[in-house]
Amino acid sequence: MSHVETSSGVDVRGVRPVELVDCDVHAQATEAMLAKYLSARARRMLERYGRRTPRVTEWYPRARNAGMRVDAWPGKPGQIWGSDPETMRAQLLDEFGIDYAVLEVLSGQDCYDDPDFAAEWNSAVNDWQLDEWLGFDSRLRGTIAVPHEYPELAVAEIERRAGDERFVAVLLPASAAEPLGARKYWPIYEAATGNGRPVAFHTGGYVDHRGAGYPSFYLDYHVGNGIVMQTQLTNMVSGGMFEAVPGLRVVLTECGVAWAAALIWSLDAAWELMREDHPRLQRRPSEYIRDHVWFTTQPIEEPDDPQHLVWAIEQAGLGDRLLFATDYPHWDFDSPKQALPRALEAPLRRAILCENALELYGLPSERPV
């Protein structure tokens, strides 16, 4: 069927081409919202002892609007930033004409909990996504929260959710109890790949010092999220997981993009010197990154000369690997209208804003109006 556009971009079949996919949106649940999905035993544990996870916001207080867009507070009883679908629909989906938004619920990310509790808690996150979000608006997509420190339980959760195509990826944190390339986590990567899902690693998770000791400020901590991901990507490549799980696709989320070229050059140079130590690696590190790694854009780096960002993208070969993201409702929200520099030419802009995500997540390129 030919595509016949009307003046509003809607064709006569009542569909419109997809133009904007947001690959990192934070629906945020309160404990009460998740507690109703827990067993009586787990709920009692939660009520009596609480989570074993100290919130990172307690020791790195977000230095701006408690880390949120100040206008994103729903002002409804029992609701917090990111918990109310109607507020998000108005402020994000409708405001910017977003065709698909991928939810990343971080409630299970920093899980130091008992295995049984961790499994229930992450399953509750997924139930809540289904009940409150994925049925609320057809533009929303979910990611499967898993108890990642207990891979066999994580695999079970992936299998449980994989039949629902609205879950487009498996969500893991950028820091865990072991480096992300550790063999411990490979069963999770195999299960995700076997079920046709990429693994999205989102900034956050286990927050230990980072080799230089604990920074004093949220400023360092937050800029440092990009630094942490460099360490993790190095570990992923070096440890051989891309050889072990050939179809694996990973999405590095909210960690920046412009550092990729420098890391790729370092990895290739070091590998040339140390190939004997990496018998599992059949190819140069840059080739694994090229085949297996995607990046979300927010918070996009902002050089004084925007052309420098274009160079950084080209140097790392990321033109078809970048996925636009807003990070709604966080304070450092990247607006679809302003975040990408004008120096990006139209085809690259289109690829970042929608085409790369459609291909990665297998989303339809048209959607009903």
Partner 1 sequence: MTDVIDCDVHCAPESYDALFPYLSDYWRQYITEAGIRLNGVAHAYPRGVVAPAPPSYEALAEHVPDLAILNCVTGFETHRNPYFAAAVASAINDWVRDEFLARDSRLRASVVVSTISTDDAVSEIERVGEDPRFVQVLLPVRSDLPWGHKNNHAMFAAARDAGLQIGLHAWGRAGKAPTPSGFTTTYLEDYLGNQPIAQAQVLSFVSEGVFERFPDLRVVVSECGFAWLAPLLWRFDKDWKGVWREVPWVKRRPSEYVHEHFLFTTAPAHLSGDPAAIDQVLEMLDGPGILVYASDYPHDHGDGLPALMDRLSEEQRHELMSGTAAKLYRMTG
Q: Which of 37, 100, 133, 259 binds partner 1 (CB under 8 A)?
A: 259
Closest CB 98 distance from partner 1, rounded Å: 23
Closest CB 259 distance from partner 1, rounded Å: 5
Q: How far apart are CA 119 and CA 109, in angstroms?
A: 12
Q: Contact 3/11 with Cβ under 8 angstroms?
A: yes
Closest CB 305 distance from partner 1, rounded Å: 8
Identify which range of 3-11, 39-47, 147-155, 174-182 contacts partner 1 by CB under 8 A: 174-182
Cα–Cα nearest to 354, from 342, 366, 345, 343:
366
- Asked if 206 touches partner 1 (CB under 8 A), the answer is yes
Q: How far apart are CA 212 and CA 303, in angstroms?
A: 26
H/E run at residue 232: helix 218-239
Q: Contact 317/300 with Cβ under 8 angstroms?
A: no
Q: Contact 186/248 with Cβ under 8 angstroms?
A: no
Q: How far apart are CA 146 and CA 171, in angstroms?
A: 7
- Asked if 331 touches partner 1 (CB under 8 A), the answer is yes
**Sites for partner 1 among residues 290-309 (CB under 8 A):** 299, 301-303, 308-309
- Asked if 343 touches partner 1 (CB under 8 A), the answer is no
Instruction: Write out the two tokens for 273.
Output: 């010197």
- Asked if 178 touches partner 1 (CB under 8 A), the answer is yes
Task: Tell me the number of residues near partner 1 by CB under 8 A.
Answer: 66
Q: Contact 253/23 with Cβ under 8 angstroms?
A: yes
Of the pair 187, 341, the CB lying nearest partner 1 is at 341
- Asked if 74 touches partner 1 (CB under 8 A), the answer is no
In degrees, rounded to 5, the angle at the alpha carbon of residue 351 between the alpha carbons of residues 346 and 353 is 90
**Sites for partner 1 among residues 13-72 (CB under 8 A):** 63-64
Of the pair 127, 332, the CB lying nearest partner 1 is at 332
Omega of the bond prior to 347 within 30 degrees of 0, cis? Answer: no
| 3-class DSSP assignment, residue 141 | strand
- Asked if 176 touches partner 1 (CB under 8 A), the answer is yes
Longest dimension (CA), the chain: 61
Of the pair 85, 256, the CB lying nearest partner 1 is at 256
String of contacts with partner 1 for each residue 218-237, x by CB under 8 A: xxx-xxx-xxx-xxx-xx--
- Asked if 265 touches partner 1 (CB under 8 A), the answer is yes
- Asked if 73 touches partner 1 (CB under 8 A), the answer is no
Identify which range of 33-41, 113-121, 152-160, 258-266 contacts partner 1 by CB under 8 A: 258-266
- Asked if 277 touches partner 1 (CB under 8 A), the answer is yes
Compute φ and ψ for 50, nearest 5 degrees: 75, -175
Strands lying side by side in the sheet with 293-296? 21-25, 100-103, 140-145, 167-175, 199-205, 250-253, 293-296, 322-323
**Type of residue numbered 150:** Y
- Asked if 348 touches partner 1 (CB under 8 A), the answer is no
Q: Contact 188/155 with Cβ under 8 angstroms?
A: yes
Q: Contact 111/118 with Cβ under 8 angstroms?
A: yes
Identify which range of 27-35, 111-119, 214-222, 340-348 contacts partner 1 by CB under 8 A: 214-222
- Asked if 312 touches partner 1 (CB under 8 A), the answer is yes
- Asked if 150 touches partner 1 (CB under 8 A), the answer is no
Residues interacting with partner 1, by CB under 8 A? Answer: 63-64, 175-180, 182, 206-220, 222-224, 226-228, 230-232, 234-235, 238-239, 256, 258-259, 261-263, 265-274, 277-278, 299, 301-303, 308-309, 311-312, 315, 331-332
